[in-house]
Amino acid sequence: MTPRYLSKPEARGLGMTSQRARDRMIERLRSEGGIRDERVLTAMRTVPRHQFMDEALASRAYEDTALPIGCGQTISQPWVVARMTEALIEHGLPARVLEVGTGSGYQAAVLASLGVETYSVERIEELLRAARRRFRHLGLNVRTRHDDGRAGWAEYAPYDGIIVTAGATALEPALFDQLAEGGTLVAPVGGGNGQRLLRWRRVAGELLQDDLGAVIFVPLLPGTL
Ligand code: SAH
């Protein structure tokens, strides 16, 4: 007979090993990564990152590294997800967030776990299909769209938060137009000299920008596949 503690959590993708590995990842994010926001740490402790990649890579899911998810794309490094999420919610949990670049769906799952109404756009249909399956399997309510997300997703705008998870040399004005008053936009931006993680806040109609440091993301590309 299979003991209950082995069969039941496994069925939900919350195996003992994975939960322990996740707890260790959270401790590293806290001690070495300087991530302080308990809301972010709790969400990342809950979401089974190993389910957002091929089984062949799942044993590496809780290392602090980006991993391939197919179609030449990657699931972002846990520290980057933590830092971006922390930056996005620092001035208050946004009610509604738009993500550009669903990829594996992990970042969107972390946002949904925070209780944020999450909208996510992805240009590669194959990746989006896999991400949708994961959301369904985990019972997460993430609204998705197959499109070039550089101009956002006007239908549900404005958003209290916008998070871009692919790097561009510049962002489209349309994206800023979809940011609500008091809202926060986080995006990797940069060209030849490397990308910086930038944050804008719309305060009293003005856009305030701050620089959160150097990052490396796959490129934000035009069109759909
Ligand atoms: N947030 C993702 C990161 C995936 S990598 C995760 O948690 O796994 C960035 C993703 O952005 C890739 O899947 C890539 O296909 C997508 N992307 C790049 N340009 C895009 C665009 N213009 N519109 C929508 N998605 C885009």
The tokens describing 2, both together, are 């299979």
**Index of the ligand 1 atom closest to the CA of residue 99:** 1
Encode pLDDT of 168-181 as tens digits.
999 999 999 999 99
Judge if the beta carbon of residue 148 lies within 6 A of ligand 1: yes
C-alpha–C-alpha distance, residues 111 and 88, integer Å:
10
The tokens describing 86, both together, are 């922390």
Helix (H, G, I), strand (E, B) or coil at 164: strand
How far apart are the CA of 94 and the centre of ligand 1, in A?
Answer: 21
Percent residues over pLDDT 70 in the chain = 92
Q: Report residue 17's pLDDT band, with 50, 70 and 90 as the boundaries.
A: low
How far apart are the CA of 106 and the centre of ligand 1, in A?
Answer: 11
Q: Report residue 137's pLDDT band, with 50, 70 and 90 as the boundaries.
A: very high
CATH of domain 63-215: 3.40.50.150
What is the domain partition of the chain in residue ranges? 63-215
Tokens 């993500």 belong to residue: 99
**Index of the ligand 1 atom closest to the CA of residue 74:** 5
Q: pTM for the whole thing?
A: 0.93
